Amino acid sequence: QSVLTQPPSVSAAPGQRVTISCSGSSSNIGKNYVSWYQQLPGTAPKLLIYENNKRPSGIPDRFSGSKSGTSATLGITGLQTGDEADYYCGTWDSSLSAVVFGGGTKLTVL
């Protein structure tokens, strides 16, 4: 049982837009930055978004992040088949004194 809650799967057609939600609580998302990771099949996770909405160098602006209250959202526009992956949200939990992750969302580009 993950501390952060994500939908197990989402799907959309190529070229479309998709959002992935991440729900937490006042001790984690409510007071700390959220990050998002992309894990392509058979590879290590890669940082996509940090500090709620910032993109590391090299991450295209098709990827965006936002946070409101105790929830965060990852948005992906102009979907490509290469975006098929598992996506994880993560943050610090001040009560647990630990980094916590969501259970992951599998994105299928139909």
Q: Does 64 bind another protein (CB under 8 A)?
A: no
Residue count (the chain): 110
Asked if 35 interacts with another protein (CB under 8 A), we say yes
CB of 35 to another protein, least distance (A): 4
Contact 34, 22 (CB under 8 A): yes
Q: Could you give the CA distance from residue 93 to residue 99 in angstroms, rounded to a whole number?
A: 6
Using rule CB under 8 A, residue 59 touches another protein: no
Q: Does 103 bind another protein (CB under 8 A)?
A: yes
Burial of 26 (0-12, 13-18, 19+ CB in 10 A): exposed
**Two tokens, residue 83:** 């975006």
Q: Does 46 sit near another protein (CB under 8 A)?
A: yes
What DSSP character marks residue 82? G
7, 25, 31, 45: residue in contact with another protein (rule CB under 8 A):
45
**Interaction of residue 102 with another protein, rule CB under 8 A:** yes
Taking Cα atoms as reference points, which of 33, 40, 29 lies closest to residue 6? Answer: 29
Stretch that binds another protein, among 16-24, 35-43, 72-80 (CB under 8 A): 35-43
Residues lying near another protein in the complex (CB under 8 A) are found at: 2, 32-33, 35, 37, 43-47, 50-51, 56, 88, 90-92, 96, 98-104
